[in-house]
Structure 1
Amino acid sequence: MRPARRIHNLPHQAARRRELRAQLTPAEARLWIELKGGKLQGRKFRRQHSIGAWILDFYCPQEKLAVELDGAAHDSTQAELRDTRRDAWLRAQGVRVLRYENRLVFEELEAVLEEIAANFGG
C-alpha cells in the first residue's frame, strides 16, 4: 500500500503563503476578523492554506470547506476558466468551495457568514 500523497501546505509554497497572509486584501482582512479563533460556530479556519497547487483564501479543515473572495482579477474569461478548473479539482479532493465577490463582505457580511455556517456539517 502506497503512503498517502501530501497535498496540504506543501513546503515549496510556504514563502508565498506567508506573503499572502501579510498582504490580505481589505475584504480578506474583514472576513478574517469574523472567522479567526473559532468565532463562527467554533469552526477553525486557516488563512492562505494550500491544497495541491492552489492557495485558498480561507480553509476550514474540520468541514473541508474553502472560502474564496473574488475581486476584479476574477472578472476575465481566462480567470473564470481557471477558477472553474480549480474548483473542480478541489471538489475531486473532497473540498467544498464557496465563492463571494469582495463587495459582499462589506455590503452583506451577515449573509455571507450565515451562508458559510449553513454549509457546516454537509
Structure 2
Amino acid sequence: MWRALKELPIEGSHFRRQAPIGPYIVDFFCPAKRLIIELDGGHHNEDDTASCDRERQLWLENEGYRVIRFWNSKITADLTAVVERIYVELYGSRDAEAIKLKHGRRK
C-alpha cells in the first residue's frame, strides 16, 4: 500500500505513514486533504476492536479529518480499485487532473 500511495501524482504534498494525530496513530495521512486511510485486518471484526475503531473514527471526524477504511483482503485482491478510490477522495473523480496540493504548516 505504501508503494502505491507514493506513486499517486500528488505534487506538493504526500502521505505520511504511522502519523500521530491527537491520541491516535493513523496508518496513512495526507495533511493537504486531511485524509486518513486505515487498513483493517480480520481482528477488526471483533466487537471490542470494532467499538474502539468507531470511537476513534468519530473523534478524528469531529476534528475535521476524513477517514476511509480498507480491508487488507481488498488491498491484496484489487489494489487498483483501492488506489482509484483514494484518487477520487483526493481529487473528486477518477478523471480529475492531479493538482498541486498544499497544506498549512503550523508555526
- TM-score by structure 1 length? 0.70
After superposition, where does 1:1-122 map in structure 2 within 5 Å? 31-36=1-6, 39-42=7-10, 43-121=13-91
**Aligned pair count?**
90
CA distance, structure 2, for counterparts of residue 68 and residue 115 of structure 1: 13
Q: For each residue in 1:42-98, what CA deviation from the matched residue of structure 2 results, as whole angstroms up to 9, or x when unmatched?
A: 151001001011110000001100000000221101111111110000001110000
Q: Is the 8 A contact 1:63 1:121 kept in 2?
A: no
| TM-align CA RMSD | 1.2
Structure 2 residues not aligned, in runs of 5+: 93-107
CA distance, structure 2, for counterparts of residue 108 and residue 83 of structure 1: 23
Q: CA deviation at 1:121?
A: 4.5
SS of equivalent residue, structure 2 residue 5: helix
- TM-score by structure 2 length? 0.79
CA distance, structure 2, for counterparts of residue 108 and residue 121 of structure 1: 20
Structure 1 residues not aligned, in runs of 5+: 1-30
